[in-house]
Amino acid sequence: MPGTELPFGIIVDFSFWNTILTLPTGQMAWVIFAIVGWAVLALIFFFMGAQLWVNLRQNKYTSNWEWVVLAVDVPPDTIQSPKAVEQIFAHLSGALFEPNFGQKYWQGVKQRWFSLEIISLEGYIQFLIFTEATYRDLVEAAVYAQYPMAEITEVEDYVDGIPTAYPNETHEMFGLEFGLAAPDPYPIRTYSEFEHNISKDAMFHDPMASILENFTRISTGENLWFQIIIEPTSSKWKANGIELVKKIIENKKDTSQPFFLFKLLNSLFNELLKAVQSPSEEGPAKKKEEMPGKLSDLTPGVRDTIAAIEEKISKIGFKTKCRVLYAAPKEVFNPSRCLDGFVGSLNQFDYAGRNAIVPVAATTAHYAFKNYRILEIKKKFVSAYKKRKIKIGHNPYILNIQELATLWHFPLPLVKTPLLQKTASKRAEPPINLPIEEMTESPLRRKVQEALPEAAEEEETPPAELPYA
């Protein structure tokens, strides 16, 4: 076939490509690579260079960030459902900032994130929130809005209590990273489904009870840390849920999309084959028309799944990454003491036909260079945990505020955790007739306290101890 006539009298000659396609497979591959291979390599190097440039700009942008670790304690008699923590996550979504093209690729502007953590240090359990100093007020306002009697205290970062490099002379560690068993739009079992009406009054079986029980199993020298890293994101992820609902109703398989570059090359190759091949005498095959699916044709279980997907995408979502780390001195190292039960406690959120939280990576390796790979994996895992990195490891996934509140919330008083830190007293509001001068005195005292060391150098006498110190 000498060529194909296009509109406006333009003729494209495909005889050259027709000759190439008649070559043996090996020769044809070499010729095609020699013609278009350089363009593919150029695109690959371009994307690699662009990613390297973005990383350099982001490292410079984040170099001045200051992180704080806030310990959150609630009174032991506080009765609040996980719905209150769900509102805390909704409050934190206010930190969303979507940089434009120039801010992202030139200034390196990056979205700040949070880490919600539960740690057990030798059985002492504490709820923590790790945040950048810019959003400390946001975090405190979100917590106090739902738990007015809570105590929030800035503490030192606990992660320096174990080594980063392995092997070492003192400690050993084991870590797990968790992901979703199904695509993001499918929801896990949430706290609203843990209510049981076996009596006149609805009873709530707190799923946090089985999680915290594993944190009490460790003893002297052992550490069990659980972190949920969340990053605010836009509502673009909800489009995937809408498309999934359409595919379920139309009874279509959810096939994953190939990488854009391979998809483009495949499309060009198919068009090229169509151009050089002669049309069939019978004409193009007619596709069998398929009737679109109807919601009424679905089973009750599938309809419930669609309703659950729609409910998930109706709420605010966060990019999420969950990790658990166990570390202890070598003489008492026994990860099965608590990690097996911890993984089992997450199985309570498994919902058949929907989604589940499952381990997707561990600090283990198999086959070739096993010992060397294990050490590298452990080093990478511990570093990612200590720096609260969401992009290290498997890709993050989307959990909405209801799912996050199910995984991380303050337990109800019925949950008896002996060493869970709680406030010893309640916070009280100031009297109505309290003078305004006394209410504004504390900030001034702080400024005086900061100036005391300079005064001490001049007078060479120790300053008097202030009553608030």
User: How far does Cα 97 stand from its chain's mean position?
Assistant: 17
Q: How high is the pLDDT of residue 419? A: 55
| Tokens representing residue 302 in the block | 């599938």
Evaluate if residue 452 carries a pLDDT over 50: no
Q: Specify the pLDDT at position 139.
A: 97
The overall pTM is greater than 0.85:
no
Mean pLDDT rounded to a whole number for the chain: 80
Beta bridge partners of 118: 127, 226
pLDDT at 20 over 50: yes
pLDDT for residue 53: 83
Between CA 90 and CA 318 the distance in angstroms is 10
Cβ neighbourhood burial of 225 (10 Å; 0-12, 13-18, 19+)? buried
Place of tokens 């101890």: 465
pLDDT of residue 293: 60
pLDDT in tens, 220-233: 999 999 999 999 99
pLDDT at position 5, please? Answer: 54
pLDDT value at residue 84? 94
Per residue in 406-432, is it b (16+ CB within 10 Å) or e — as a string?
bbbbbbbeebebeebbbbeeeeeeeee
Ramachandran angles phi, psi of 158, nearest 5°: -80, -15
Q: How confident is residue 196, by pLDDT bands cut at 50, 70 and 90? A: low
Q: Are 179 and 394 in contact (CB under 8 A)?
A: yes
Per-residue pLDDT, 106: 84
Give the rounded percent of residues in the chain with a pLDDT score beyond 70: 72
Nearest in space to 147 (alpha carbons), one of 212, 230, 85: 85
- Compute the distance between CA of residue 115 and CA of residue 321 in angstroms, rounded to an integer: 9
pLDDT exceeds 80 at position 455:
no
At residue 200, the pLDDT reads 55
**For the ranges 12-21, 242-251, 401-410, 444-453, the one whose mean pLDDT is highest:** 401-410
Q: What is the pLDDT of residues 47-89, one digit of tens each?
A: 888 888 888 887 888 888 999 999 999 887 777 889 999 999 9
Determine how many CB atoms are found less than 10 A away from the CB of residue 113.
Answer: 22
What whole-number distance in Å separates Cα of residue 195 and Cα of residue 206? 9
Residue 418 has pLDDT above 60, yes or no: no
CA distance 214 to 157: 22
Separation of alpha carbons 291 and 272, rounded Å: 32
Q: Render pLDDT for 346-364 as a digit per residue (tens, 0 to 9).
A: 999 998 889 999 999 999 8
pLDDT score recorded for residue 366: 76
Helices and strands: H and E segment counts in the chain:
14, 13
Residue 131, beta-bridge partner list: 68, 114
Exposure pattern of 174-195 as b/e (b: 16+ CB <10 Å)? bbbbbbbebebbbbbbbbeebe
Q: Which helix (H) or strand (E) holds 3?
A: strand 3-5
pLDDT at 177 over 70: yes
Identify the burial level of 55 via C-beta atoms within 10 angstroms of its C-beta, where 0-12 means exposed, 13-18 middle and 19 or more buried.
Answer: exposed
Percentage, residues of the chain above pLDDT 90: 48
Distance CA 291, CA 136 (A): 55
Measured CA to CA, the distance from residue 401 to residue 85 in angstroms comes to: 8
Q: Rounded to 5 degrees, what angle do the CA atoms 128, 131, 134 make?
A: 145
CB 229 within 8 A of CB 131: no
| End-to-end CA, the chain | 92
Dihedral, 83, 85, 87, 92 alpha carbons, nearest 10: -160
Helices (H), 277-337: 300-313
What pLDDT, on a 0 to 100 scale, did the predictor assign at position 469? 37
pLDDT digits (tens, 9 = 90+) for 232-261: 999 999 999 999 999 998 876 544 454 555
Higher pLDDT, 302 or 225: 225
Q: pLDDT-derived band of residue 450, with 50, 70 and 90 as boundaries?
A: very low
Q: Which of 232, 228, 235, 236 is nearest to 346 (CA)?
A: 228
Beta strands per DSSP E along 55-122:
67-73, 114-121
Cis bond before residue 396 (omega within 30° of 0): no
Specify whether the CB–CB gap between 224 and 385 falls below 8 A. no
Which CA distances in Å does 441 have to 63, 214, 428, 432, 463?
Answer: 35, 45, 18, 17, 19
User: Model confidence at 446, in pLDDT bands (50, 70, 90)?
Assistant: very low
Cβ atoms 91, 189 nearer than 8 A: no
Rounded Cα gap, residues 272 and 262, in angstroms: 15
Coil, helix or strand at residue 73? strand
Q: How many CA atoms lie within 13 A of 433 on its CB side?
A: 0
pLDDT > 60? residue 298: yes
List the structure tokens of 77: 């008699």
Q: What are the Cα distances from residue 109, in Å, to 199, 252, 307?
A: 54, 40, 37
